[in-house]
């Protein structure tokens, strides 16, 4: 009697390079998160990087011995270490990227394990610089940065601004671990391809609020996470992105680096922002959960409980999708979302045809691993032609990439 064999997918392989900088402590979160997600992670430290974080620390977090220049120069058997590591990696991440390592990479120089491994690899490289503001703003550093980014292998997370370890307030602060991890997951999905380069995507997300008085409104639980994931995935694939969003938490706004944003509250404000931004867009994605109605009147001061109406007269808000469909140009593509319960396909197909959409994403909000507010979702993509595509529960970022994959395959 023989047992049936099963095929287990090999883990993804990420190589992390740590150069000198106090921001190295942030990379511990990145390494630990990758390992806990089942991703095979290996870590290299430059001599300067070891001054800020120990090989033992990253070895413990990655579940694998760390690599240092000592191991590189003392290798006496087998294939050269930098060749083995360069061929092993699917993605190479350098965080923090110091001014010194940046200069070496820009000029194609290699004098340690990290820089030799970069030159011995062909995978995408994600760069997260970190340095003092004056260092970052030096003409020589900016020249090296721009020169390096001309190479399609390199993908960048620009440093942010804030209070630095030197007490300076300004640019140079390394991106937060969440942003680095998100970009890494995108690059693992795409292999570094920028297949949305040259496209401008206009995306709406979140809920709208229709106020009865300054403290009460008609709304819904939409968090904006799905639209933000769509915007991040598109940005990582090379697109220019404009995101029109309703009220979202401050922690979510931190995910919008590199994305042009327009902050709105009501359906009328979102209607105006979407139509104003429409002429520049190639793809328009209505992922927002827009209110269907609003109170017929809005009080300028808070209504006392005794003054609340027994019944609430309502009036219609603008039909944003219908107006976008009416005003778009022939080359523009319009994709809608339909949050539904029960059998999601019939109402989504009806909306697809009735609104003049090119595609619609039917989102079952009454199933586990789906719906408003969570970090995971599932969907069925419907187009005018072609079979429905069912995307099982996954992270919203992964769902976004699968939607972009499908739309590109469909010739959008």
Mean of pLDDT values over 132-141: 93
- 325 phi, psi to nearest 5 deg: -60, -35
> Using one digit for the tens of pLDDT, what is the confidence trace for 310-331?
899 999 999 999 999 999 999 9
Q: What's the CA gap between 245 and 248, in Å, rounded? A: 7
Q: Which residues are bridge partners to 339 per DSSP?
A: 363
User: By C-alpha distance, which of 407, 239, 260 is closest to 334?
Assistant: 407
What is the model's pLDDT at position 5?
41
Task: Please measure the distance between the N-terminal and C-terminal CA atoms of the chain and give it in whole angstroms.
Answer: 51
Assess whether pLDDT exceeds 50 at residue 6: no
Q: What's the CA gap between 390 and 394, in Å, rounded? A: 12
pLDDT band at 7 (very low <50, low <70, confident <90, very high): low
| Host H or E run for residue 405 | helix 396-409
What is the model's pLDDT at position 57?
97
Q: What's the CA gap between 275 and 209, in Å, rounded? A: 19
Q: Which is the catalytic residue, given 28, 123, 166, 394?
A: 166
| Host H or E run for residue 136 | helix 133-137
Encoded tokens for 187:
């690059």
What is the model's pLDDT at position 1?
35
> Using one digit for the tens of pLDDT, what is the confidence trace for 350-402?
999 999 999 999 999 888 878 788 889 999 999 988 789 999 999 999 999 99
What is the model's pLDDT at position 171?
80
Mean of pLDDT values over 110-131: 97
Our answer to whether residue 394 is catalytic in this structure is: no
| Average pLDDT across the chain, whole number | 93
DSSP string, 229-288: HHHHHHHHTT-EEEEEE-S--HHHHGGGTTSEEEE--SHHHHHHHHHHHGGG-SEEEE-S
> Using one digit for the tens of pLDDT, what is the confidence trace for 73-117?
876 567 899 999 999 999 999 999 999 999 999 999 999 999 999
Domains of the chain as residue ranges with CATH: 13-190 (3.40.50.1950), 200-409 (3.40.50.10300)
What is the model's pLDDT at position 370?
80
pLDDT band at 2 (very low <50, low <70, confident <90, very high): very low
CB 30 within 8 A of CB 180: yes
Encoded tokens for 152:
């399609």
Q: Which residues contact 21 (CB under 8 A, 6 or more apart)?
A: 48, 49, 52, 96, 98, 130, 131, 174
């Amino acid at each position: 009697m023989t047992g049936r064999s099963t095929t287990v997918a090999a883990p993804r392989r990420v190589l992390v390079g740590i150069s000198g900088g106090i921001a190295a402590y942030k990379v511990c979160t990145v390494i630990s998160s990758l390992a806990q997600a089942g991703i095979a992670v290996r870590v290299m430290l430059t001599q300067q990087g070891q001054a800020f974080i120990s090989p033992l620390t990253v070895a413990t977090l990655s579940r694998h011995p760390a690599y240092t220049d000592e191991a590189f120069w003392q290798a006496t058997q087998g294939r050269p270490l930098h060749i083995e590591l360069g061929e092993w990696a699917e993605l190479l991440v350098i965080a923090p990227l110091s001014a010194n390592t940046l200069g070496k990479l820009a000029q194609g120089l290699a004098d340690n394990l990290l820089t030799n491994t970069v030159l011995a690899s062909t995978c995408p490289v994600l760069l997260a610089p970190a340095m003092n503001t004056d260092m970052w703003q030096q003409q020589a550093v900016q020249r090296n940065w721009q020169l390096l980014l001309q190479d399609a292998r390199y993908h960048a997370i620009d440093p942010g601004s804030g209070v630095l370890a030197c007490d300076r307030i300004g640019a140079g602060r390394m991106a937060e671990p969440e942003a680095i991890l998100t970009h890494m997951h995108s690059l693992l999905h795409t292999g570094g391809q920028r297949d949305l380069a040259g496209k401008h995507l206009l995306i709406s997300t979140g809920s709208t609020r229709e106020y009865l008085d300054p403290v009460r409104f008609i709304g819904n639980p939409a968090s904006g996470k799905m639209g933000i994931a769509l915007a991040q995935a598109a940005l990582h694939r090379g697109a220019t992105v404009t995101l029109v969003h309703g009220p979202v938490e401050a922690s979510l706004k931190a995910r919008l680096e590199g994305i042009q944003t327009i902050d709105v509250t009501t359906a009328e404000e979102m209607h105006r922002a979407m139509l104003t931004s429409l002429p520049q867009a190639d793809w328009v994605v209505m992922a927002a959960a827009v209110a269907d109605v609003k109170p017929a009147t809005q009080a300028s001061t808070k209504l006392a409980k005794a003054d609340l109406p027994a019944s609430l007269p309502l009036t219609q808000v603008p039909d944003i999708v219908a107006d976008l469909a009416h005003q778009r140009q022939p080359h523009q593509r319009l994709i809608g979302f339909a949050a539904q319960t029960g059998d999601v396909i019939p109402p989504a197909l009806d909306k697809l045809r009735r609104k003049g959409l090119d595609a619609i994403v039917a989102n079952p909000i009454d199933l586990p691993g789906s719906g408003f507010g969570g970090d995971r979702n599932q969907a069925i993509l419907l187009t005018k032609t072609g079979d429905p595509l069912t995307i099982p529960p996954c992270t919203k970022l992964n769902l976004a990439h699968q939607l972009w994959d499908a739309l590109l395959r469909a010739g959008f």
